[in-house]
């Protein structure tokens, strides 16, 4: 199915990068970008398809990008951090309108670079555009609340939210557009300046936006680098000039980067990290609904979502019935190329992932679990068909590891304390899905679960969206909260002007308000 000479792959060669408002030509080494979708077979082995190349940058240019962001912030004096809110919003609107014209190529690259199916790739793009518009609205709302003075005691105050400084933005490969932008956009609109490096996969799809960044924002506000994190993010962190590390990815990368920063107390962290969200299926759960939600929860985008259901705890009284029906449903899922109609399962973008998944299956088998569905574990060069593994126990890697791929461990339980203890002992604390209907049992359970994770999904799979809801986690799963509104808070700090409430000061404040001398002291109501 994956070898076809009829399909034309895209090819994008980008030798440009954006620093200090200039799209410069990269003269150094380039890195090829390979898609794990195969179009050719050479000597009996499948070959990834080369779909483009990007600069493989080094420390020197990384530090130039940082310097550009530092200069654009200019100790808080820069054009961008002091600009009127409505002017920053105008820049953002300009950007999103140009971005909207790049939908076709970006959706195509999402399919080729990370194997996301067409519907989900389109959704990722559209959701990101919507996120930008929603962020603009949320910022106007926030700003309206600041368009006033407060008086407490004899102190008059004008309280606003101000930027933090220079933000290093690093996104993940599974949502290379949406999640990267869910950091970058609020960081920018709040007046910070940024250095941004696309994820390890899903790099080419950023290149059609370079000119949009250049046209929409003042120089130095957005700086875009390409290359390996180790080579370019590490030296940037070592300088101590980064005020905010905004990263969605793995905690090991976040901790390694944080450790390089010489002044840890000055570094604000906004992190979306790994998770092992469990599904807990109670004896009275509606079976059909539960199967449907568990399919989308475990296998949307092949399970490569931080919010995916990564372990299912099923009550022992229904576990056989659940496994029989769930296995049947999994085996009917369509595997195909991302752009083919009805492809639900698609090639895995990481070359080593099928073997890693196979390794988890073998480890579980060697410790007593079995593959429960007929097609489970069938291998293709770039895929491993989803395997339902049962009975899984604590000795198996699959019980603990965030598999981030198509394999589903099932654990049966007798006493509800078993899954609750497992969650309490786990390193993660993002979300849970709870299936059942008896309110006498659900009520107290919800009360406990809400203290173990940050979102309890009742008879529904776990997910991040809608983006207006808070997205966060406990333990190793997150630092800070992201949502359209929360992200504006995360990337800013409350800062205000205070004065003794007397004639002398009030006259000065009034004059400031009547003049154009300060963008901060401003009570303009943004419609």
Contact 461, 293 (CB under 8 A): yes
By beta-carbon proximity to ligand G3H, the closer residue of 76 and 465 is 465
Radius of gyration of the chain measured on its C-alpha atoms: 25
| Ordered alpha helix ranges (H), 332-438 | 353-366, 397-400, 417-425
Residues 220-239 that bind ligand G3H (CB under 6 A): none
Site stretch for ligand G3H (CB under 6 A), options 134-142, 257-265, 303-311, 416-424: 303-311
- Which residues have CB under 8 Å from 521's CB, separation 6+? 158, 497, 509, 512, 513
The tally of CA atoms less than 13 A away on the side-chain side of residue 317 is 9
Q: Does 175 bind ligand G3H (CB under 6 A)?
A: yes
Interacting span for ligand G3H (CB under 6 A) from 88-96, 291-299, 304-312, 378-386: 304-312
CB of 426 to ligand G3H, least distance (A): 17
Cβ pair 361, 377 in contact under 8 A = yes
Size of the site for ligand G3H (CB under 6 A): 9
Binding mask 131-170 for ligand G3H (x = CB under 6 A): ----------------------------------------
The DSSP letter of residue 524 is -
Q: Give the nearest distance from C-beta 267 to ligand G3H in angstroms.
A: 23
Answer yes or no whether residue 28 interacts with ligand G3H by CB under 6 A.
no
d(CA 514, CA 491): 30
Q: Among 163, 464, 477, 485, indicate the residue that binds ligand G3H (CB under 6 A).
A: 464
* Contact in structure between 198 and 17 (CB atoms under 8 Å): no
Q: By C-beta, is 96 or 306 nearer to ligand G3H?
A: 306
> Minimum CB separation from ligand G3H for residue 302, in Å?
12
What is the smallest separation between the CB atom of 461 and ligand G3H, expressed in angstroms?
8
Footprint of ligand G3H on residues 465-494 (CB under 6 A)?
465
Shortest CB 307 distance to ligand G3H, Å? 4
Interaction with ligand G3H in 386-415: which residues (CB under 6 A)? none
If the CB atoms of residues 179 and 486 are measured against ligand G3H, the closer one turns out to be 179
Q: State the minimum distance, in angstroms, from the CB of residue 175 to ligand G3H.
A: 6
According to DSSP, the β-strands at 455-458 and 166-170 are: unpaired
Report the residue number, 57 or 309, with the smaller CB distance to ligand G3H: 309
- Regarding 116 and contact with ligand G3H (CB under 6 A), the answer is no
Q: Show the CA angle centred on residue 15, arms to residues 9 and 16, nearest 5°.
A: 120
> In this structure, is the dihedral angle defined by the CA atoms of residues 496, 499, 503 and 505, taken in order, positive or negative?
negative
Indicate the residue among 194 and 304 with the shorter CB distance to ligand G3H: 304
Residue among 174 and 382 whose Cβ is closer to ligand G3H: 174
> Which of 57, 136, 306, 449 forms a contact with ligand G3H (CB under 6 A)?
306
Sign of CA dihedral 336, 342, 344, 348: positive
Supply the minimum distance, in Å, between the C-beta of residue 230 and ligand G3H.
22
For residues 316 and 293, give the distance between their C-alpha atoms in angstroms, rounded to a whole number: 19
Residue 307 lies near ligand G3H (rule: CB under 6 A)? yes
Options 173-181, 290-298, 309-317, 336-344: segment touching ligand G3H (CB under 6 A): 173-181
Note whether 463 binds ligand G3H by CB under 6 A: yes
Rounded to whole angstroms, the Cα distance separating 367 from 382 reads: 26
Stretch that binds ligand G3H, among 158-166, 326-334, 371-379, 463-471 (CB under 6 A): 463-471
Q: How far is the CB of 126 from ligand G3H (least distance, A)?
A: 13
Provide the minimum distance between the beta carbon of 69 and ligand G3H in the complex, in angstroms, as a whole number.
26
Q: Considering the complex, what minimum distance in angstroms separates the CB of residue 435 from ligand G3H?
A: 18
Min dist. Cβ of residue 499 to ligand G3H (A) = 44
Per-residue binding string, ligand G3H, 200-219, x by CB under 6 A, is: --------------------
Residue 349, SS3 per DSSP: coil
> Cα 435 vs. chain centroid, distance in angstroms?
26
Q: How far apart are CA 396 and CA 411, in angstroms?
A: 11
- d(CA 371, CA 391) in angstroms, rounded, equals 9
Stretch that binds ligand G3H, among 54-62, 106-114, 439-447, 457-465 (CB under 6 A): 457-465
Determine the interface stretch with ligand G3H among 48-56, 84-92, 419-427, 461-469 (rule: CB under 6 A). 461-469
Q: How far apart are CA 110 and CA 99, in angstroms?
A: 15
Interacting residues with ligand G3H between 282 and 301 (CB under 6 A): none
Smallest CA-to-CA distance from 434 within 415, 411, 450 is with 450
Task: For 250-302, give the DSSP string.
Answer: -HHHHHHHHHH-S-GGG-EEEEE----EEEEE-TT--HHHHHHHHHHHHHGGG
Q: Is 174 in the site for ligand G3H (CB under 6 A)?
A: yes
Nearer to ligand G3H, 165 or 198 (CB): 198
**DSSP per residue over 80-135, as a string?**
HHHS-HHHHHHHHHHHHHHHHTTHHHHHHHHHHHH---HHHHHHHHHHHHHHHHHH
Q: What residue ranges bind ligand G3H (CB under 6 A)?
A: 174-175, 179, 305-307, 463-465
């Amino acid at each position: 199915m994956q070898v076809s000479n009829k399909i034309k792959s895209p090819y994008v060669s980008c030798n440009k990068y954006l620093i200090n408002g200039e799209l410069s030509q990269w003269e150094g080494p380039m890195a090829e970008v390979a898609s794990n979708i195969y179009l050719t077979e050479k000597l009996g082995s499948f070959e990834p398809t080369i779909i483009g190349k990007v600069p493989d940058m080094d420390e020197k240019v990384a530090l130039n990008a940082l310097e550009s962001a530092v200069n654009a912030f200019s100790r808080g004096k820069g054009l961008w951090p002091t600009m009127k809110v409505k002017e920053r919003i105008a820049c953002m609107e300009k950007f999103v309108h140009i971005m909207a014209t790049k939908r076709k190529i970006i959706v195509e690259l999402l399919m080729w670079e990370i194997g996301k199916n067409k519907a989900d790739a389109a959704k990722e793009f559209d959701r990101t555009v919507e996120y930008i518009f929603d962020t603009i609205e949320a910022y106007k709302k926030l700003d309206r609340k600041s368009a006033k003075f407060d008086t407490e005691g004899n102190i008059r105050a004008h309280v606003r939210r101000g930027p933090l400084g220079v933000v290093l933005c690093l996104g993940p490969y599974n949502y290379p557009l949406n999640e990267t932008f869910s950091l970058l956009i609020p960081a920018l609109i709040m007046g910070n300046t940024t250095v941004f490096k696309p994820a390890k996969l899903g790099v080419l799809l950023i290149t059609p936006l370079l000119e949009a960044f250049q046209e929409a924002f003042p120089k130095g506000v957005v700086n875009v680098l390409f290359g390996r994190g180790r080579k370019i993010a590490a030296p940037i962190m070592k300088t101590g000039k980064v005020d905010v590390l905004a990263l969605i990815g793995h905690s090991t990368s976040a901790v390694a980067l944080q450790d390089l920063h010489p002044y840890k107390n000055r570094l604000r962290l906004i992190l979306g990290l790994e998770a092992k969200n469990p599904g807990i299926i109670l004896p009275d759960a509606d079976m059909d609904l539960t199967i449907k939600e568990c399919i989308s929860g475990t296998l949307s985008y092949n399970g490569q979502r931080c919010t995916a259901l990564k372990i299912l705890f099923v009550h022992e009284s229904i576990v056989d019935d659940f496994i029989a029906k769930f296995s049947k449903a999994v085996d009917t899922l369509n595997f195909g190329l991302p752009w083919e109609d009805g492809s639900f399962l698609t090639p895995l973008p990481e070359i080593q992932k099928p073997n890693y998944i196979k390794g988890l299956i073998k480890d579980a088998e060697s410790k007593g679990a079995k593959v429960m569905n007929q097609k489970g574990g069938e291998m293709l060069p770039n895929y491993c068909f989803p395997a339902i593994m049962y009975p899984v126990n604590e000795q198996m890697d699959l019980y603990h590891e965030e598999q981030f791929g198509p394999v589903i461990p099932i654990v049966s339980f007798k006493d509800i304390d078993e899954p609750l203890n497992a969650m309490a002992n786990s390193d993660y604390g993002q979300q849970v899905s709870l299936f059942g209907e008896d309110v006498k049992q659900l009520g107290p359970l919800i009360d406990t679960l809400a203290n173990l994770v940050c979102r309890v999904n009742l008879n529904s799979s776990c997910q991040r969206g809608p983006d207006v809801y808070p997205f966060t986690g406990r333990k190793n799963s997150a630092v800070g909260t992201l949502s359209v509104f929360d992200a504006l808070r995360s990337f800013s700090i409350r800062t205000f002007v205070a004065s003794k409430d007397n004639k002398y000061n009030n006259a000065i404040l009034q004059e400031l308000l009547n003049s154009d001398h300060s963008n901060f002291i401003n009570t303009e109501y943004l419609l």
